[in-house]
Chain A
Amino acid sequence: DAGVIQSPRHEVTEMGQEVTLRCKPISGHDYLFWYRQTMMRGLELLIYFNNNVPIDDSGMPEDRFSAKMPNASFSTLKIQPSEPRDSAVYFCASSLYGGALNSDTQYFGPGTRLTVL
């Protein structure tokens, strides 16, 4: 398996532009997670899905952020309009189980490094 795939790997945009980040989870995994990582705040969970349904979006910072999972093999995280403080590395992760078993490892993608000028 190729692991979790994210695109683009790098994104540079100007303030006010729309940004769309994409993720393909590992085939067969029922859970998908979006994280944001910054030096100041560390790794923060933004939202996670179970079987394509959003379960917990309490980490989404504000209405400018939205996430969708139209099918089991694809998810997007959209920022509209983008702001300089959104600059961070955004990770997607997937797992077979969300927490029902002890060993429900989350597998992370390589991340998208977003810079908003």
Chain B
Amino acid sequence: QKEVEQDPGPLSVPEGAIVSLNCTYSNSAFQYFMWYRQYSRKGPELLMYTYSSGNKEDGRFTAQVDKSSKYISLFIRDSQPSDSATYLCAMKGSSNTGKLIFGQGTTLQVKP
């Protein structure tokens, strides 16, 4: 079993829809949780960063962490065609390590 599980999709939604992307993980030592966005034929770029449990909002994006369930989510409100990309969750433990564990990524298509 992988440390981080993420449904690869693809997920197709109409423009304006609310999108929910999710990851589950097995390692209770994970403390830092990230979402990266990757456009086709580009490298991933950091979208959201959350420490421990709780919510974090940035514009149309909200990241949620539920450590008791080992479950993290990314919500996109009023989705736009420009949001079409692959979204990867990533996480790491509390020690001073650069090592991130990535989910497989979910491919999202927002149709106009």
Contacts and interface: CB of A to CB of B under 8 A. Distances in A.
Interface residues of B, number: 23
Contacts of B96: 98-100
Contacts of B43: 4, 91, 93, 108-111
A105 B34 CA distance: 9
Interface string A41-80: 1111100101000011000000000000000000000000
Interface stretch (B12-20, B62-70, B73-81, B97-105): B97-105
Nearest to B44: A108
Contact of A42 (B41, B46, B104): B104
Contacts of B42: 110-111
Contacts of A109: 43
A40 B86 CA distance: 15
B98 A108 contact: no
- Chain A, interface size category, equals 20 to 34
A31 B88 contact: no
Given A105-B49, A106-B46, A98 B98 contact: yes
Given A108-B45, A110-B43, A56 B105 contact: no
A104 interface: yes
A36 to B, nearest CB: 11
Contact of A48 (B45, B95, B98): B98
A93 B88 CA distance: 15
Contacts of A33: 98
A48 B99 contact: yes
Contact of B99 (A56, A100, A110): A56
A8 to B, nearest CB: 14
B75 to A, nearest CB: 21
Nearest to B88: A43
Interface of B: 6, 32, 41-46, 49, 51, 88, 92, 95-105
Given A42-B88, A105-B46, 12 more contacts: A42-B103, A45-B101, A45-B102, A48-B99, A50-B98, A97-B98, A98-B97, A99-B32, A100-B96, A104-B98, A110-B43, A111-B43
Interface of A: 4, 31, 33, 41-45, 48, 50, 55-56, 91, 93, 95, 97-100, 102-111
